[in-house]
Chain A
Amino acid sequence: MAKGGEVKLACRRLWKVFGPGAEAFLARHGAAPSAEELRAAGLVVAVADAELAVRAGEIFVIMGLSGSGKSTLVRCLSRLVEPSFGEVFFEGRDLLRMPEREMIDIRRHKMGMVFQHFALLPHLTVLDNVAFPLAIQGVERRRREERAREMIALVGLEGKEYHFPRELSGGQQQRVGIARSLAVGPELWFLDEPFSALDPLIRREMQNEFLRLQAVLEKTIVFITHDFDEAIRLADRIAIMQDGRIVQIGTPEELVLRPATPYVAEFTREAPRHKILTARAIMAPVNGSAEFAGEIPAAMKVIELAPMVVDSDKPFLVVENGEPVGMVDRAAVIAVLVGRR
């Protein structure tokens, strides 16, 4: 499941601490102050000692409740907020040591961002909004409008080019936001709770739309959400944050099977396991004498294999790279479906 591209974006020992003299304080404590020391200094921690690596082409979701520091973390990664300590590597170069000019250049050409409340410019039409990032770069009008029209078509808003943002519904506005962030053809795409301000039905529709786009575009994506269901629906890997710290990073399946802390377990308890677990996770060792109804790949999700397995009296053989690795029978599938594991 996890995609094996090279590392696109990474951070190490990243801290963001609010309060006077935060940088000096962190340097003094070797970037490992205790909670008591922080409290005594009157500082507020937003991100503590974050470490992560996002691979090219993957959807990396940062999940946390409000106040967990996920928004600050993503702003540190894009350097919208200046971190107090640590390193951020984009394509192997440390963003924090980069002069402002180069940073502007990277933002113009390699990064895109979608915002929770859309952040559309109220005085521009849909077309001008989508073309805006190109206009800032000085692309001439004909070329940028042509590109903007392509993007508008990509998100399915043809015919709305000359509307103003306030004339659109929330879902449509966010489509504009998405089109705009894609207009420069970014390699790294930040989405900060892009669907949180939308109604549940529209949210679901937008999630599907997002997966469809990603299937075509294959961007490297950092996606922020407070909704665990959204995270497991979209993510290749998830980082769970609590009180400014990343408590676990893993695929949805890993989180469900081996939650690192009770806090993570709390989230995964209600998770729809049949959509997360694969044959590999529920298979039993092959018992030599058994007869098999057929073969299924190890990466197949329970929800996909369940109809076949439940209808059959015999177990199925689980195959990975042509080799049998285990077997799945009716009882194992039913145990997942009724929530016994």
Chain B
Amino acid sequence: MASAALPRAHAVGRSYAAPAAVAAAFALSLAFLALPRGTVPAWLLRVPREWVPPLRRWLSAFMDWLVGSASFGLFTFKDLTRAFSALMDWPLWLAKSLLVTGFQLGEGSAAVALTAPVSWLAVILLLTLFAYRLGGRGLAILVFLCFAYLALFGQWESAMVTLSSIVIAVPFGVAGGLALGIWAYRSPRFERALTPLLDVMQTTPVFAYLVPILFLFGFGPVAAMIATIIYAMPPMVRVTILALKQVPEEIKEFGRMVGCSRRQFMWRVLVPTARPALMVGVNQVIMLSLNMVIIASMIGAGGLGYDVLASLRRLDIGAGLEAGLAITLLAIALDRMSQAAAGRSERRRGRQGGASGFDGVMAAALLFALATLWLGLRYPWLARYPEALEISTAPFWDALVRWINVNFFDQLEAFKTTLLVYVLVPVKRFLLAQPWPWVLLLLTLAALRLGGVRLALVVLGFGLFVAFSGFWTKAMITVYLCGLAVIIAALLGIPLGIACGLNARLWRVVEAVIDTLQTLPSFVYLIPVVMLFRVGDFSAMIAVILYAIAPAIRYAAHGVRRVPAHLIEAGRASGCTPRQILLRIRLPLALPEILLGINQTIMLALSMLVITALVGTRDLGQEVYIALTKADVGYGLVAGLSVAAIAMIADRLIGAWAERLRRRFGLQA
């Protein structure tokens, strides 16, 4: 068994036909670049406008009809969305009143405060106690420090606005995801219909569906929250389906053997058994909600995201950094707490009550929190953290950036210019010189070879969509930015990942770092990059690399470590040097895993790319962003779906490739 599963090195190089074909195709592509301007007819470089189907206009018209005149007889579509808004508005109002504004009578400036918000002191106390309950002293200290930062650095109010959105969005996201996941688990047909939809939802840049939501629900926190829920739900659906499927067959048989009804089977056998896996989904929903809440600040969510966005627009680095750090700390605190909650079900639970003394403390803290609703009216320092005690490091950061820019301007600029002139610009020109039918042909051929006719048709379909969306040039710029970022991320990340796979101590350090990096909302990455390199393609690329490198490292490390021990032993027994073991056994076997890591990197890069539109790239992300500012539904959706199409082409091709390698090595997924 062991020897049969060893990769056959000679099989890879068995034929030179494939590399030769790739080389020939590349040479031809280079030839297109070398051709003098005007040789290639313009209609080959971009699909002429007359050929582009008016998909955008149809979409916009459809939305107009939906909002304007669609009716279900008794009520119109608009009534439906209004009702839905109202339904969502109520819990959000409750959370905000509790955490931010206090309960008020009346509207606007005429409002009379009935209560203060829950005091910052009480919130910190409650959360710290809760963290202690979930994860012990270490977690309590972490949570305390994170929230103390929010108060101390004057971020409290914004943070509470953000937190109240999260607190409402997460339960909706979890419940919705769980419901859809259970439905898909029960009905394979529903699952087949749902899976491609989830793919599209996860690869479409969030901005793209901000536009229709804006259209349906208007500008404001409710619209932002709906966008957040839509964005955060797909992973929960997937995790639910997977978790339910992964319940051991014997436990399912047991459930049927004791004669469970359908409902008993689901809620008393499957869901509790799958609970640890489901909690991973809950954690994902929390993190994605946090990420989205910030993006959603563009359509009126307010809070920390708005602060970051505003300071980025003013190039006020210090303030942006502090707000960004606030988001990061909030993310870390919520992440660790939810992970501790997930882990708790794994560990032994308190046998018989046990911590009743602690429950008393919790109850007292809750009473105190309630009391501050009224005490805050009398003692303003309870309701609001006193401004006199706030500290700010913004001047320091501003000074630091100024100092760097004064003293290292030449070096930074030289670095940036070199890369721009010798890498970025040539690659961009190369890609823009390619005729679209040629690109589609290459993609289709690659798909045919990697995955057969069906895959080829799928890839061709996505490709044609991009070509005839009318955004071909922008799409190629997207491919160029994203492609370069992915290549650089892979060149840096994979060797690091391999080193981590071989050295457990290094891995522990790196893992801690990338775990933290991955909890950062994508926005935060823009801040230091803009600090050092200002706006433009280059800054965008650096931000994308930083955001997207984590999976490249993680999967490479995982792949190298997961090579079955008996294969390594077989190699050692047949006299391989450590180098040979790495090159001939570990790396080939880890290749499928490494490919999946690159796939993830591409997905993250594409999603980040849209956000970098804020710092002035000229790709599809910018188109989506423009659509958002103009509230042009069709325009934004088509541009967004083009990004999704690119993502899915990459995903399908790489997935097929990894699958092929895996099958060849006889490895299981």
- What residues make up the interface of A, taking CB atoms closer than 8 Å to B? 75, 78, 80, 104-108, 111-113, 115-119, 121-124, 132-133, 135-137, 162, 164, 167, 184, 190
Contact = CB atoms under 8 A, between A and B. Distances in A.
Given A108-B258, A119-B248, A121-B269, A164 B253 contact: no
B273 A78 contact: no
B275 interface: yes
B17 to A, nearest CB: 33
Interface residues of B, number: 21
Nearest to B272: A123
Given A107-B258, A122-B272, 8 more contacts: A119-B254, A122-B273, A124-B272, A133-B258, A133-B259, A135-B268, A162-B352, A164-B348
A119 B253 contact: yes
Contacts of B264: 136
Given A107-B256, A123-B272, A117 B250 contact: yes
Interface in B249-287: 250-251, 253-254, 256-261, 264, 268-269, 272-273, 275
A225 B269 CA distance: 27
A154 to B, nearest CB: 18
A113 B253 contact: yes
B251 A119 contact: yes
A162 B350 CA distance: 11
Contacts of B248: 117, 119
Contacts of B273: 121-123
Contacts of A136: 258-260, 264, 268
A75 B258 contact: no
Nearest to B261: A104
Interface string B445-471: 000000000000000000000000000
Given A115-B253, A116-B250, A162-B351, A123 B345 contact: yes
Contacts of B268: 132, 135-136
A135 B259 CA distance: 11
A9 to B, nearest CB: 15
Contact of A75 (B251, B253, B259, B272): B253
- Most A CB contacts (10 A, CB to CB) among B251, B258, B272, B273 go to B258
Given A122-B273, A136-B264, A164-B348, A115 B258 contact: no
Report whether over half of chain B's contact residues are helix, strand or loop; otherwise say mixed: helix
Given A121-B269, A162-B351, A108 B253 contact: no
B250 A119 contact: yes
Nearest to A118: B250
A78 B254 CA distance: 11
Closest 7 CB pairs of A and B: A108-B259, A119-B250, A107-B259, A133-B258, A119-B254, A104-B259, A115-B250
B347 to A, nearest CB: 9
Given A117-B248, A164-B348, A137 B259 contact: yes
Contacts of A121: 251, 269, 272-273
A164 B350 CA distance: 12
A168 B164 CA distance: 43
Contacts of B259: 104-108, 133, 136-137
Given A121-B269, A136-B259, A115 B348 contact: no
A108 B258 CA distance: 5
- Most B CB contacts (10 A, CB to CB) among A106, A132, A190 go to A132
Contacts of B257: 78, 80, 107, 111-113, 190
Contacts of A113: 253-254, 257
A80 B258 contact: no
Nearest to B257: A113
B275 A80 contact: no
A306 to B, nearest CB: 42
Contact of B256 (A80, A105, A116, A132): A80
Interface in B71-96: none
A123 B253 contact: no
A145 to B, nearest CB: 14
Nearest to A105: B259
Nearest to A121: B273
Nearest to B264: A136
B353 to A, nearest CB: 12
A184 B258 CA distance: 9
Nearest to A134: B258
Contacts of B269: 121
A118 B272 CA distance: 17
A80 B248 CA distance: 15
Nearest to A107: B259
Nearest to B268: A136
Contacts of A190: 257
Contacts of A118: 250
18 contacts: A80-B253, A104-B259, A104-B261, A107-B256, A107-B257, A108-B259, A113-B253, A113-B254, A115-B254, A118-B250, A119-B248, A124-B272, A132-B258, A135-B268, A136-B259, A136-B260, A162-B352, A164-B348
Contacts of A135: 268
Contact of B348 (A105, A137, A167): A167
Contacts of A119: 248, 250-251, 253-254
Contacts of B275: 123
B248 to A, nearest CB: 7
Interface in B92-136: none
Contacts of A75: 253
A119 B348 CA distance: 19
Contacts of A107: 256-259
B99 to A, nearest CB: 33
Contacts of B260: 136
- Most A CB contacts (10 A, CB to CB) among B250, B259, B261, B273 go to B259
A80 B273 CA distance: 20
Interface string B62-78: 00000000000000000
- Most A CB contacts (10 A, CB to CB) among B257, B260, B268, B269 go to B257
A174 to B, nearest CB: 12
Interface in B152-176: none
Contacts of B258: 107-108, 132-133, 136, 184
Contacts of A104: 259, 261
Nearest to B349: A164
A121 B258 CA distance: 13
A167 B352 CA distance: 17
Contacts of A115: 250, 253-254
A123 to B, nearest CB: 4
A118 B275 CA distance: 19
A132 B256 CA distance: 12
Nearest to A167: B348
Nearest to B351: A162
Interface in B212-268: 248, 250-251, 253-254, 256-261, 264, 268
Contacts of B253: 75, 80, 113, 115, 119
A28 B275 CA distance: 46
A15 B14 CA distance: 46
A105 B264 CA distance: 14
A219 to B, nearest CB: 15
Interface string B491-522: 00000000000000000000000000000000
A80 B255 CA distance: 10
B351 to A, nearest CB: 6
A194 to B, nearest CB: 11
A118 B253 CA distance: 11
B396 to A, nearest CB: 50
Contacts of A133: 258-259
A24 B517 CA distance: 57
A190 B253 CA distance: 12
A236 to B, nearest CB: 23
Nearest to A115: B250
A2 to B, nearest CB: 28
A193 to B, nearest CB: 11
A1 B345 CA distance: 50
Interface string B344-362: 0100100110000000000
Nearest to A162: B351
A269 B636 CA distance: 77
